[in-house]
Amino acid sequence: MPAILIIYNPTAGRMRVRALWPKIEQALKKAGLEFDAVATRAPGEATEIARSAGGQYAKLVAIGGDGTLSEIVNGLMQRPPDAASIPLGIVPLGNGDDFAKVLPPEAPIGRACYDWPTAIRKIATGESRLYDVGRFRQAESDATGTNRHRYFLNIMGIGFGAHTVRNFANVPGFLSGYPAYLAAVFKTLVNYPTLKMRIQFDDAPVIDQVTTIAAIGNGRCFGGGFWVCPQAIPDDGLFDVMVADRIDRRTILRLLPRLKRGTHVTEPVISMRRARRVVLESDEPFIVEADGEMPISPTRRLEIDILPRRLRLIV
């Protein structure tokens, strides 16, 4: 059996992976890598592949976007803790590829992610390091009657950001990357929520907060280039949390360029915190995004904690 399992999503990047796969396959072989390759056919399938096959290979590779990567991470995290010893390589070919922008963790703000030929060279070299993983669960039971945990590698959020992710599905197909996310932002500006939340950081007293957007970051960037948690370090055992007050459309438009540069943290309407555990609670259901996906149904309570240095990534 080859030592490497490649899980690729042909539809990622609005079919970019499908178009490039023959060239990627040849480049992998040219690099001297022996591998099995599995193409996903439906949402969630990458999780099942990683969970069931992860222990049979010495190395896994995700080819796709943040959603594909997140699915694979969820599969690995459902395995025993020694799953962290299986290096995971990333070939970023999605719409945003936001987590790849912080490989390695000290990568500067505003840096674009590396291209796929560079990714293959990294996979062939095999240098790796341990990264933190975020874990969350909703208070309400899922369809199986359990409160099972789910995982994220980059950023999860509520409010404006979550609604933007939901609206992204309706962005015209000729747009991709940052322009596509920007189109989703403008669509969200038409109608977005203001949430009345109770927020707890670690064991501190609960804070009553009216917010337009809150983001819990293990990584720093989401939405194809918005550096919402610009000082987050994905292997320090802490989340960086951005919480915005109630803000109007004009303020959001004014903040967008600063979010693009990661300079919004000094704004009076923005607060930044660090924590190992965050609890979000509201009397009204709110939607949740994680790694650019909508992983759970609307919830009234969300419990989020960090697993320090749990996943080994090829950098």
Give me the mean pLDDT over the 35-59 stretch.
91
Kindly report the average pLDDT of the chain as a whole number: 91
Domain closes at, from 133, 153, 186: 133
1 pLDDT band (50/70/90 cuts)?
low
Residue 187, in any domain of the structure: yes
Q: Which pLDDT score, from 0 to 100, does residue 90 have?
A: 96
Q: Which of 149, 157, 306, 136 is CA-nearest to residue 233?
A: 306
Distance CA 59, CA 3 (A): 6
Domain count, the chain: 2
Q: What is the mean pLDDT of residues 56-78?
A: 94
End of a domain among 102, 133, 164?
133
Are residues 159 and 235 both part of a single domain? yes
Peptide bond into 295 cis (omega under 30): no
In a domain, 80, yes or no: yes
Q: Print the domain residue range for 103.
A: 4-133
Rounded Cα distance between 152 and 67, Å, is 10
In Å, what is the CA distance from 174 to each residue of 10, 33, 179, 194, 221?
Answer: 17, 34, 10, 31, 23
Please tell me whether residues 34 and 145 are part of one structural domain.
Answer: no
Q: What is the mean pLDDT of residues 266-281?
A: 98
Q: Is residue 293 within 8 Å of residue 165, measured between CB atoms?
A: yes
- Give the per-residue pLDDT at 205: 97
Mean pLDDT value of segment 156-174:
88
DSSP 115: P
- Residue 315 falls within a domain, yes or no? no
Q: Is pLDDT above 90 for 286?
A: yes
> Do 20 and 73 have their domain in common?
yes
Q: How far apart are CA 259 and CA 204, in angstroms?
A: 28
**Which helix (H) or strand (E) element contains residue 129?**
strand 128-138
In this predicted structure, the answer to whether residue 163 has a pLDDT above a threshold of 70 is: yes
Mean pLDDT on 280-309:
96
What CATH number does residue 12 fall under?
Answer: 3.40.50.10330
| Res 2: pLDDT | 79
Domain boundary among 118, 133, 148: 133
Q: Examine the domain organization and report whether 110 and 161 are in the same domain.
A: no
- Residues 151 and 198 grouped into a single domain: yes
Q: Which tens digits make up the pLDDT trace of 97-155?
A: 999 998 888 888 888 888 999 999 999 988 899 999 999 998 765 555 556 899 999 99
Do 55 and 81 fall within a single domain?
A: yes
pLDDT, residue 103, reads 85
Same domain, 126 and 193: no
Please tell me whether residues 123 and 229 are part of one structural domain. no
SS3 at position 169: coil
Res 111: pLDDT:
81
Enter the pTM of the model.
Answer: 0.92
In a shared domain, residues 129 and 139 = no
- Please determine, for residue 292, whether its predicted confidence score (pLDDT) is greater than 60: yes
Half-sphere exposure of 306 (CA within 13 A, CB side): 29
Q: In this predicted structure, what is the pLDDT of residue 126?
A: 82
% of the chain exceeding 90 in pLDDT: 76
Do residues 8 and 144 both lie within one domain?
no
Question: How confident is the model at residue 18, as a pLDDT?
Answer: 96
Highest mean pLDDT range out of 50-64, 102-116, 297-311? 297-311
Q: Say if residue 175's pLDDT is above 80.
A: no
210-229 confidence digits (pLDDT tens):
999 999 999 999 988 899 99
Give the least confident one: 80-89, 237-246, 253-262: 80-89
Residue 235: the pLDDT is: 95
pLDDT score of 48: 94
Residues 163 and 273 in one domain: yes
What contacts 24+ positions apart, CB below 8 Å, involve 18-27? 20/93, 20/116, 21/63, 24/63, 24/91, 24/116, 24/120, 27/116, 27/117, 27/120
Question: Over the Cα atoms of the chain, what is R_g?
Answer: 19
Give pLDDT, residue 79: 85
CATH assignment of the domain containing 197: 2.60.200.40
Taking residues 238-244, what's their average pLDDT? 98
Instruction: Provide the CB-side half-sphere exposure for 128 (13 A, CA).
Output: 22
Whether 94 and 205 share a structural domain: no
- Which tokens is 261 given? 């540069």
